[in-house]
Amino acid sequence: MFTRLHNGLFTFVLVYVDDLLITGDDDKGIPRLKQDLHTAFTIKDLGLARYFLGVEISRSSQGTLLNQRKYVLDILTVVGLTGAKPAWFPLPKGLKLSTDVGTILSQIDSCRRLVGRLLYLTLTRPDISYVVQHLSQFLQQPRDTHFQAALHVLRYLKHTPNQGLFYPTDNNLQIIAYSDADWGTCRSSARSLTGYCVFLGSSLVSWKTKKQKTVSKSSAEAEYRAMSATISELEWISHLLHDFGVPPKLPITMHCDNKAAQHIAANPVFHERTKHLNIDCHYTRDKILEGFLQTAHVPSKEQLAGIMTKRLSEFQHHYLCSRLGLLDSPPIPP
């Protein structure tokens, strides 16, 4: 991404290989930039962005919706599930995947390609972040149970192909984060999952599900490591906003549903008893002392990052999807 500030006006250019997305508030500078690029490279101006790298962009007076409807339908066509019965949930209830249950696939590339396509879908579908991370663990030697689980995800996407992230026009620039962890969920390594989601006002701008690098001895330790990873993302986003000329309001509130992890962050006395968390402890504690961050407790049912770390009930899953800003189409103004 390239940025330019001239006479108080911004121009931003996002580059991916030979595709460029240009935006900003410099109404005179942007046409000049396009002309300069055309003179140097011979570009094709496609006008107002409606489709970029598989992401469809729909606008209304209320805001902008980003989805990957065409991408979803293309996958369903390739796999042959256009006529399949839709599913209401990303993973079948009671399903427990492992490395030693099921028959090893004779054509493992088909499963790997499918999971790779699902991975790209998480660009606008945070509701499948957990299941895609879960399936990604078995790509070295995928079995029929893993492939069937991936097909179930496609049936879920068939039920909601138009769904995407909505970014309202009327919004504030206050950063809010949710951090969560699921302790020791990996059956083969006993490692925990880190999950976080970051909002700019009411708009979801960053999220991740990732297995932690080390084994945590307690749920508090797993949650604390998740908090540390979330803070790293918050720092990156705050630096990006500075580049945009809109520095965030501090302190940033990070919601966590584990009180023990919050106490470790707030009380230095706990640090003597958690020396194995030395780096994460000091990093999180320093950000609180700097005034960059403050923690807040949130009930588990309101923990929005929970959708990134665990299998939820159908009601809770759809409730959190709505809280994340996932919609089928932009709201129609009254």
Q: For a pLDDT cut of 70, what percent of the chain falls above it?
A: 94
In a 10 Å sphere around its CB, with 0-12 CB exposed, 13-18 middle and 19+ buried, how is residue 195 labelled?
buried
Weakest mean pLDDT among 110-119, 128-137, 187-196: 187-196
Helix, strand or coil, per DSSP, at residue 76: helix
Residue range 115-130, pLDDT digits in tens: 999 999 999 999 999 9
The full DSSP string for 150-200 is: HHHHHHHHHHSTT-EEEEESS----EEEEEEEETT--TTT---EEEEEEEE
User: pLDDT > 90: what percent of the chain?
Assistant: 58
Indicate if the pLDDT at residue 195 is higher than 90. Answer: yes
Q: Residue 217 has what pLDDT?
A: 83
Instruction: Write down the pTM of the prediction.
Output: 0.90
Average pLDDT of the segment spanning 156-171: 92
Distance separating alpha carbons of residues 147 and 7, to the nearest angstrom = 55
Q: Which of 202, 198, 170, 164 is nearest to 63 (CA)?
A: 170
Looking only at the bridges linking them, the beta strands covering 252-256 and 293-297 are parallel
User: How many CA atoms, within 13 angstroms, populate the side-chain half-sphere of residue 206?
Assistant: 19
Cβ-based neighbour number of residue 40 at 10 Å: 8
Phi, psi of 151 (to 5 degrees): -65, -35
Burial of 156 (0-12, 13-18, 19+ CB in 10 A): buried
Identify whether the C-beta of residue 254 lies closer than 8 Å to the C-beta of residue 296: yes
User: What six digits make up the tokens of 121?
Assistant: 């879908």
Residue 143 has pLDDT above 80, yes or no: yes
Q: What is the pLDDT of residue 320?
A: 94
Give dist(CA 192, CA 138) in Å, integer.
16
Is the model's pLDDT at 301 over the cut of 90? Answer: yes
Can you give the pLDDT at residue 334?
47
Q: CA 37 to CA 82: how far, in whole Å?
A: 42
- Within 8 A by CB and 6+ apart from 128, the residues are 90, 118, 121, 122, 153, 156, 157
Could you tell me which residue, 297 or 100, shows the higher pLDDT? 297
- pLDDT (0 to 100) of residue 206: 96
Domains in the chain, ordered, with CATH?
2-47 (no CATH), 67-159 (no CATH), 171-324 (3.30.420.10)
Dump pLDDT digits (tens) for 227-274. Answer: 999 999 999 999 999 988 888 999 999 999 988 888 877 776 555 555
Residue 35 — φ and ψ, nearest 5°?
Answer: -65, -40
Confidence (pLDDT) at 273:
54
> DSSP assignment of 101-155, as one string?
SSPBPS-HHHHHHHHHHHHHHTTT-GGGHHHHHHHHTT-SS-BHHHHHHHHHHHH
* 315 vs 265, residue with greater confidence: 315
Q: Which residue reads 């549903």 in tokens? A: 257
